[in-house]
């Protein structure tokens, strides 16, 4: 008579060593990416629009620096307010859930068990899992927040991180089209070339984070930024001629 021996299957060494994930909820990536792109595109478009009006180089430089400062502070303030408001809303919902857990623990327990049943777990096992997971009040709150609200209470985005990332990235992006003028350039084309290279580089860098094709992402950003600069240059030329 043969006996069956159960063995625990271990994950492959390659899977253990390489199964990692990027930080997708740290609160910095979106404002940093958006800030850099917005800084490059908006300041480039602003400067090309002014340059299209055939104004003095000093005016273009002042416009670029003013756009950098105004845009960076505006982006940081907007990101801080947006993320802080979102965080306050989430915390308010967590307070409601925490209150429900303290007032109606049995109802919340049955609700969690029903959720597991809806996902294919047997009713008795679902109730036992829900009971064990709800033994710790803070763990129970975390589970209900994940299952009902789709959030992790321990991983909420930081308003300060979002604002700081947005400010720095916007300022760096907006600095590129101004830099050639600060180094002595008197024509628009060096600023345009450097800004377009920066746009391609930003797009390619974002692709490294999102695992998309670097050349596609880079070309997409280059075309979008170039189109914005071209449109504003034409508008600036038209306005400069009309008011000249």
* 162 has pLDDT over 80: yes
- Tens-digit pLDDT profile for residues 186-232: 999 999 999 999 999 888 887 776 667 888 888 988 999 899 999 99
Q: Model confidence at 25, in pLDDT bands (50, 70, 90)? A: very low
Q: What are the phi and psi torsion angles at 125 (to 5°)? A: -65, -40
Cβ–Cβ < 8 Å for 170, 38: yes
Q: What is the mean pLDDT of residues 119-126?
A: 91
**pLDDT for the residue 72:** 95
Burial class of 115 by CB neighbour count within 10 A (0 to 12, 13 to 18, 19+): middle
Q: What is the mean pLDDT of residues 105-122?
A: 90
Cβ–Cβ < 8 Å for 198, 215: no
End-to-end CA distance of the chain: 103
**pLDDT for the residue 39:** 93
**pLDDT for the residue 156:** 86
40, 54, 84: which is closest to 200 by C-alpha?
A: 40
Whole-angstrom Cα distance, residue 22 to residue 25?
Answer: 9
**pLDDT for the residue 192:** 92
SS3 of 118, please? helix
Q: Model confidence at 27, in pLDDT bands (50, 70, 90)? A: low
**pLDDT for the residue 12:** 56
Q: Model confidence at 1, in pLDDT bands (50, 70, 90)? A: very low
41, 49, 64: which is closest to 223 by C-alpha?
A: 41
Q: Model confidence at 5, in pLDDT bands (50, 70, 90)? A: very low
**pLDDT for the residue 10:** 59
């Amino acid at each position: 008579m043969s006996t069956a021996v159960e063995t625990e299957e271990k994950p492959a060494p390659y899977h253990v060593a390489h199964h990692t994930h990027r930080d997708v909820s740290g609160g910095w990536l979106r404002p940093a990416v958006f800030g850099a792109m917005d800084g490059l595109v908006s300041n480039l478009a602003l400067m090309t629009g002014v340059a299209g009006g055939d104004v003095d180089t000093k005016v273009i430089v002042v416009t670029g620096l003013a756009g950098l400062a105004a845009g960076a502070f505006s982006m940081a303030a907007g990101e801080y307010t947006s993320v802080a408001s979102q965080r306050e809303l989430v915390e308010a919902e967590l307070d409601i859930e925490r209150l429900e857990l303290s007032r109606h623990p049995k109802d919340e327990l049955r609700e969690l068990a029903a959720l597991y049943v809806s996902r294919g777990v047997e009713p008795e096992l679902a109730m036992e899992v829900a009971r064990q997971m709800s033994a710790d009040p803070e763990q129970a709150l975390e589970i209900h927040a994940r299952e009902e609200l789709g959030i992790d209470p321990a991983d909420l985005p930081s308003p300060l991180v979002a604002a700081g990332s947005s400010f720095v990235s916007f300022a760096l992006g907006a600095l590129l089209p101004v830099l050639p003028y600060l180094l002595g350039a008197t024509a628009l084309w060096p600023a345009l070339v450097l800004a377009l290279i920066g746009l391609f580089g930003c797009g390619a860098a974002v692709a490294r984070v999102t695992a998309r094709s670097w050349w596609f992402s880079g070309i997409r950003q280059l075309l979008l930024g170039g189109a914005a600069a071209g449109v504003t240059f034409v508008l600036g030329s038209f306005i400069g001629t009309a008011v000249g």
